[in-house]
Structure 1
């Protein structure tokens, strides 16, 4: 279970999320939606401990998420980033990526390229994105929390439905699934909708 209680999140001088309270329950798909720039991705970053909340708190299974505890909580999470090409090494035969220090892009799902390096991974096809999402979730079957940022954004209508079914199946296994999305089908199939 993930909880935001009266959480206010600022980026620079701009308040993106103000006094938000929500509970994303185990066994449900929760969709955070809103217009572009409304703070959906920032909310996910706060949940993963990369963006502090100015007021209120974030908790995971009833335990307060702090700067010191965030790393431990991230080990419970599997993350499907909006830029899925950051995970592309998992489906290619390229050389293994050298171990990096834990940074924003290297703490989930095995080893990701470091954000410090100038990387420009080639774009993935819709089919590759879907394959990568399936593999990532399969490899993290023991993680009880799934976080996805706009997982259907670059998919065809057919693959979008397959992605929704994949995420719903994760929730059916008792996992907490939190998705940031503006996709109408994702919103329609969510168990709970939070509008920013």
Structure 2
């Protein structure tokens, strides 16, 4: 594990690239409040911990090599992203005036929904699985003083840490954007735009080999 700096750089670039996780975080932060965005991140973290556990016990490679299992995960994840995208597209108004006045704190069940979206989108994201079996092994040392499973846990911890910090920055930036949400027309287009992006992410996930 002599290339932790290079690995951290790769992870930071991957985290900053626009993806389904970032779009869901942005959507929930705008639709509710910054706490909903943070709870979404918590769901994403739990999803990564799930895949870390799967990788440590050796099931990640089994899943990746099974056409049936990998395809099932891929299509469930794709369908869920399309579902969330359609809901956002048809919402019309992404953030109501009442939510902007009270910070969205009175929206019943939004915390659970935000957490669930972050968790499910991450667990059923085949790219996360491939990250654990393609990129991480390149930065592991076979036969070193640190066992492979321990190395995997360390690399996963770095991934989770860097991603969490970046996503928290995104939440704060998006929360600042709410000052521009007084226009109902802008909200309508923003809602539809977020929905279209999530739908496209879902379609791309389904079509990727």
TM exceeds 0.5?
no
More strand per residue:
1
TM-score under structure 1 length normalisation: 0.23
More helix per residue:
2
TM-score under structure 2 length normalisation: 0.22
Which is greater in Rg?
A: 2
